[in-house]
Structures are given as structure tokens and as C-alpha cells.
Amino acid sequence: MSSEPKPVNESTRRKAPRLRSVPLPPASEDADPSLAAPELYVNRELSLLEFNRRVLAQAKDPEVPLLERMRFLCICSRNLDEFFEVRVAGLEKRLEFGQTQPGPDGLSVVETLARISEVAHDLVAEQYRVLNDALIPALQEQDVRFLPREGWGDGLRAWVERFFQREMLPLLTPMGLDPAHPFPRVLNKNLNFIVALTGKDAFGRSSGLAIVQVPRSLPRLIPVPMPHARGQHDFLFLSSVIHAHVEDLFPGMEVDGCYQFRVTRNSDLLVEDEEVDDLLHALEGELPGRRFGDEVRLEVADNCPEHLVSFLMDQFELGDEETYRVNGPVNLNRLMGVIELVDRPDLKFPAFTPCVPDHLLHTKDIFEAIRRRDILLHHPFESFAPVVDFLRQAARDRDVVAIKQTLYRAGADSAVVAALVEAARGGKEVTAIIELRARFDEEENIRLANRLHDAGAHVAYGVVGHKTHAKMALVVRREGRELRRYVHLGTGNYHTGTSRQYTDIGLLSCDEGLGEDVHRIFLQLTGLGRVPPLGMVWQAPFTLHANVVRCIDREADNARAGKPARIRAKMNSLTEPRIIRALYRASRAGVEIDLVVRGICCLRPGVPGVSESIRVRSVVGRFLEHSRIFCFENGGAPEVYLSSADWMERNCFLRVETCFPVRDAGLAERVVAEGVEPYLEDDGQAWRMRMDGSYERVVPADAAAPRVAQTRLMARLTG
């Protein structure tokens, strides 16, 4: 009997509505075709690789605590994994489908892939130089050791043999290659070994090759117990243990060589929105296939003989451009485990406790606090707890009648989801818009959707063809004879874990205009109908792009008229060509433009006659810079906006996003003073973008006391 997925509660399911197709705003900037010249645009993929260079630079920085340097190395490796799984895989698919037209930068798909291979090979080689020549020796000086096989003593060898026989051998399944055992399907990013053999087995077979796939349940780092260790923090690589005992997998045969390799695959889910009746069940069916998508990269030990490398390349239909020979573990990101296993606070960033603003610290009724004034929270320096308290109080308050919320990434065991479940079970009207297609969080979001369904909440999956990326919550409360709306809007996800690692800004308010706009957006997401008019919020895919361009053009007009004109903006990425052209026009008009762009930036600053007044910097530090802040001088009446959206095509046209004004003058000043100015002054963790798309480290004015934005904010906000 076949088993089928358990259906969710049919009475509460909401299928994804469709948004009315909206044409792009008139491209008035196209009147000047010179601003569309390919030489004015940096290639998106190469800019992303440049960002990973800046991450890797943190692993080389002696001013960064040693174990945190290891963390940055692992982050760089993990970022590259995703880069190949998504970006490179997408380019390969475009090539396969014959979509070879160049992007704004003029590079074709073939040219882009060739440049990616060149840059990525250099970046990967640098990763292993950092590991082998810098981090491992420095850790050894701090009595944190990775013990090579040649250094094992007799006692350790005996312990390793017992560990292998007891903990590993029962889980390993070697696959000899012969006509009855073809090359196995290897999992995406899994550790594997190709083993060269001599001799015949019990059946007289002698193919000479075998594959060993290592289960993910086995730890890649193995702590060495006392008394076999030389210190408290000695480790073995799993690959070293397998190398030492690979003969035990092939009794009676001689092992001529054992070499690790790993394959990266296309991880995009193949769900055709237009053909799907039930997005949740469609994704449930596609998730297992992610492990076996098309191959896009092969990593193999650099001591592997060329004939075996060629054999692997043939099996995966990859060439030299997609093959990376590495001097160390092929899965660097699994070294992240050492950071948790080594209890050495002196080798990590100092601990800090996010603060709760004074006016909330002793407030039992958060709704009363919001009625007194809007509340701005700057994470991670200020705690995310007030947002959780807002939802928990809403769940338990007998006067609250409805809660509506978007969930893009919430995390396992989410306190936010727990509050929604409690509210639904308590009889309140709870609506959750869960984006099932949040990349690499799909499985977790499916579980959240089913959990909320079971609690009695109304669950919708966003909009077909548009990811719901907006971060918003709406609480409707009966107060006397009227209903009052309370909202939370932010730049980051409702994820208590990342709220301690990402910089984000959120606003709690009961402003009638904001409440009405958020209410209308939720009606649009759960129901059907045309785009509702919004009074304060800019919404993608409808009005956000046009309003951003309009504000940039207004600054240009003000500059020409001799009025105060300035643009300051902070975001994760800048790629959208129309916005870039608007910025170029504004620069030509004399507008001073400062951009803090953490990751991808396709705009070229400092081009004579085009972008001379545009400055771009990137800040990479302890926390991931994630807030989106847009500040327009507006002729002396400054406007400050917070947004869930970057200035990218996907955010402007393919996602449901919000961008909202900070209307309280004091809070707007605070957003600029905390979210923008410290980053423009940073000379400790900041990088300045050059005209050619590369970056240079900003040199501190005072080497003994560099200005580090994140450190200054921790001191200012947490004490």
C-alpha cells in the first residue's frame, strides 16, 4: 500500500492568490542611452564573489578572535556552496535552454561562467592557504590541535581503531564498481571517497575501484578523549580516521589509494507555479530531489591521481573549469563544529546581552507603551524580546480579536510561532502568510504551516509567482467601542536566532495610516482583488520601485534648483538597472550619494561624468549587516524609510515587499544616527568599492583606535 502525505486541515487551507500583472513604470531614464552602457555595470555574480573575498579577509585578520576567524572561513565556504547550488546552477540552466543573452554588464552566460571559474578557483585556493598556513598553526599555539595520522601515538591508534569498529564501520557501505554495481548516486555536498584497489574479492571480482559514501550522521570532527589527547582540545578529522582504516572495508584486498571528493548540485526546486494546485504538497514532493540535482562542481583531494580525477569528472560530466583540487577537508564548512566544541571565551567575540529599552523594561502592557509612542528596536544591540512579548500578549489578551503575520524564516521551535499557535487555540482569528519557498527553509516552513493548521489558524502560502518577503504583523484589539490596529514592521525576519546575529530595525506602532495599509496588504494576500491604494507604505511589486526612482529623481531636481540634495542608503545588494541609472542621473545633477551595500553592487562609483559623487562602501563584521534604510534629503525636509527589500530586480518585481516611512522625527533621526552614520564613519571593518568593482580596506585614521560601527553601537545601546 502506498503512503501519501497527510493532508492538512481542508477547512482552513487557503490557496495562493494571484496578483494582477502590473507593467513596469515608464523608464524615463532610457532617454539617455549612455547610462545603459555595459561598462557602467559590474557583473552580479562576480560582485557576489568579491563579497566572499571580504568575508575571507575576516578569517585572515589577526584583530579578529581566532575561533571567530575559523567561523568566517566556514561562512565563506558555506556561501560558496550556495553560490554554486543556486547562481552557477541557474547560469548552467540558462545555457542549457539557450538563454545566452548578456546582462546589463554585457557579459554573456558563457563569459560569466568562465570568469566565475577563474575567480572561484583563486578564492578556494586562498581558503585552504588560510586554513593550512594561518589558522591551524595559530590554533595549535593555543593548544587547539587537529592531529594528523603521522603524529598518532600507539595509544591513540588503538583508541581510533576501537572507535572506527564501534561507531563507524556499521554505518559505512562501500560500493565496488563493476557491471552489477554502477557508479552510485552521491548526495549533494556529501563527503565521499574514491578508493583504488588491487586484488580479487571472494567472488573473483577485481574492478579496481570502489566508492565510500559517508553518512551525514557521522561527525566530521572527532574530539580525542583523555588520556590519548595531548591537551583538552585535540581533534581528528573524520577523513583521517577513514584513511587509517579503509582497508577494513575491503578485507583481503590491497588499498592503493583513498581520496575524498564532494559534488555540489543544483538545489533550486522545480515547482512550476502555474501548474500547481497545492503548493505545500508540490514542495513536499520536490524536496527529496534537491539532493540529486544536476552536478555543477566537483571538489577532490589535490593528491588524487589525475586518472581518478578524470574518471570522476566523466561520471559527473564536469570539466576542469568545474573541478576544484583542494588541500584539506573537502567540506570546510563542517569545521564550524570546532567553535562550539572548544570552550575558550578568550578566542571568541566577547559575550554581550542585548538590552531592552528603558521605557519597555518595566512595562507590563506593551499595547499601552505603543499607544504612548512608536517604538523602534535596533537588533541585535536591542533585544528581539519585545517583539515576542507583543505577540505573546496579543495571544493572551482577551481584547485582542485577530492576529495576522507574515513568516519568511522563523526557525525551529520559534517563540513567534508558539504565540500564534496559542492565540489560535485560544479562539482568536489567526492568519499566517507562510512563504514555503524561502530557499533552504522550505522543509521547516512546511512543518510550521502544518502546525498552525492543526492549531486552527488560517494559513496562506503567499502569492503564485511572487515570494512574500515582507516582514509585518498586525494585531487587532477591541478598545471600548472601536477596534485599534497595532503593527510591527521590520527589515528582518521573525527569527529569534538571527535577531542575535543580524543587524535589523523594527517598528512597533498603532499609527492609523500604517495599520490601514498593513490591513489592506493582508487582505490582498489572503483574498482576491485589485491592488488597493496605500497611503504610506510602498509595496512591491506595485509601487516600491516607482517611488524609489521618483525620490532619487526628486533629489536630482532639487540639486539642479540649488536646494539641499543628498541620498544615503543602506542595503544588502544593489543590482536593479533602472535604480542604478536614476542614481547616475542624480550624481550628474550634483547629488551627494553615500551607499552602504554589504554584498552585491552592480553600480560603478567614481566614473568621471557619471558617478563622481557616488561613494559605495561595505561593512563586514561580527554581525551580518541586514537592515535596509533609505534616506532622502528632500530639499531640507528629510524622509527616512525602512524596508524589507533591497534594490534588486527580484525584490522590486518578483516579491511582495514593504517599505515604510519613519514618521516620528526623533525616531527618524535615531535611524540615521545608528543605522547609517556610524557605517559611513567606520574605518575598522569597512571596505571602499573601486570603480572596477574591486574593494580596498579602509585605513583607520587612528590605528590605535579604529572606528568600528558595530562596536560603537554595542557600547552605545547595550552599555
Determine how many CB atoms are found less than 10 A away from the CB of residue 704: 5
**How are the residues of the chain apportioned to helix, strand and coil, as percentages rounded to the nearest 5?**
40, 20, 35
Given the residues 458, 469, 495, 626, select the one marked as catalytic: 469
Q: Measure the CA–CA gap between 538 and 459, rounded to whole angstroms.
A: 24
Q: Measure the CA–CA gap between 674 and 625, rounded to whole angstroms.
A: 13
Encode 175-243 in three state secondary structure. Answer: EECECCECCCCCCCCCCEEEEEEECCCCCCCCCCEEEEECCCCCCCEEECCCCCCCCCEEEEEHHHHHH
Q: Measure the CA–CA gap between 378 and 236, rounded to whole angstroms.
A: 41
Q: Measure the CA–CA gap between 144 and 147, rounded to whole angstroms.
A: 10
Q: Measure the CA–CA gap between 101 and 99, rounded to whole angstroms.
A: 6
Contacts of 684 (CB under 8 A, 6+ apart): 698, 700, 706, 707, 708, 711
N- to C-terminal Cα distance for the chain? 63
Report the amino acid identity of residue 98: G
Place of cell 583607520: 700
3-state SS, residue 475: strand
Q: Measure the CA–CA gap between 491 and 471, rounded to whole angstroms.
A: 7
**Grid cell for residue 499:** 535577531
**Grid cell for residue 49:** 564573489
Torsion sign across C-alpha atoms 564, 570, 571, 572: positive
* C-beta of residue 646 within 8 angstroms of C-beta of residue 576: no
3-state SS, residue 72: helix
Nearest residue to 240 (alpha-carbon basis) of 256, 263, 219, 254: 219
Contacts of 138 (CB under 8 A, 6+ apart): 66, 69
If you write DSSP's letter for every residue of 514-574 in order, what string do you get? HHHHHHHHHHHHHS--SPPP-SS-EEETTTHHHHHHHHHHHHHHHHHTTS--EEEEEES-B
Nearest residue to 295 (alpha-carbon basis) of 257, 272, 321: 321
Beta-ladder partners of 237: 221
Peptide bond into 532 cis (omega under 30): no
**Can 469 be counted among the known catalytic residues?**
yes
Helix (H) or strand (E) holding 616: strand 614-619
If you write DSSP's letter for every residue of 428-466 in order, what string do you get? -EEEEEE-TTSTT-HHHHHHHHHHHHHHT-EEE--BTTB
* C-beta of residue 156 within 8 angstroms of C-beta of residue 240: no
E strands in 281-354: 295-301, 323-326
* Active-site annotation, residues: 469
